[in-house]
Amino acid sequence: MHHHALPDSVALTPIGFVRSCFDDRFGTPRQPGLVPSATAELVLLPPYDHPDSLRGLETCSHVWLLFLFHANAGQGWSPTVRPPRLGGNRRLGVYATRSPFRPNPIGLSVVELAGLLERPGQRGLLLRNHDLVDGTPVLDIKPYIPYSDALPSAQPPAGFGEPPRRWPVRFREQALRQLADKPRALRGLIEETLALDPRPAYRQAESGRQHGVWLAGYNVRWQVLDGVVWVEQVEPRAERS
């Protein structure tokens, strides 16, 4: 067997960037496939936006995206992490988790391909049901192939086998008035995102504390009371104080 010398580091160039409905890390789902109303555009950069590079992808329903956890740049890594899924108290090896704090801050997500993005001067992908924060640099795209990628008998790490809990979400009258003239999909995005309770694990036992999350350019104010997520206000970014 021949062993070829490898460099100590490898330079990777983003092929494009994500324009996402998730404006910040807080509120972005921790896994793909949990917020069906989530939309995004992957805008390719030249020369990676050549039309031939996407030929045939239009027949695909889902794709794998290899990306960088850019929001964690420079924050380092640890051999063990505290996954929020386990309550934030139990430590696991970083390689047994999907923590963004990794030796190489690379993420991998399978997302729904809603179509190809084609507008003057821009080419890329239209995405749904994703877990990507706005501005995410994408390194590669690969088609999802069910016969090899779907493994129903696969065993996840202990504690990760069940889907996350979903909280009931209700809207105050003020929030409903503010949503009355907004796109219908915005309410679905808010409900599906907040049902996952984006609060840090150490705050999930609290009740009555108000939180804010930015979704699709709107400042959504909410709180948890007696096991119910209450949406208090939905204000566009221009009204942010």
Q: Where does the chain hold its CATH 2.40.30.70 domain(s)?
A: 16-149
Listed in order, the ranges of the chain carrying CATH 3.30.2310.20 are 169-239
| Predicted TM-score (pTM) above 0.95 | no
Residues of the chain scoring pLDDT < 70: 1-4, 202, 204-205, 238-241
Tokens describing residue 12: 């990777």
Report the CATH number of the 169-239 domain: 3.30.2310.20
Q: Is CATH 2.40.30.70 the right assignment for the domain spanning 16-149?
A: yes
Taking a C-beta distance cutoff of 8 angstroms, is the pair 132, 16 a contact? no
- For residue 240, what pLDDT is reported? 42
The confidence score (pLDDT) of residue 234 equals 97
Read off the pLDDT of residues 110-129 as tens digits, 9 standing for 90 and up.
999 999 999 999 999 999 99
- C-alpha radius of gyration, the chain, whole number: 20
Query: Residue 132 and residue 108: Cα distance in Å, rounded?
Result: 10
Model pLDDT for residues 34-47, shown as the tens digit of each residue: 999 999 999 999 99
Residue 90: predicted pLDDT: 84
- With a CB cutoff of 8 Å and minimum separation 6, the contacts of 110 are 32, 33, 62, 63, 64, 65, 144, 149
The pair of structure tokens assigned to 158 is 């202990």
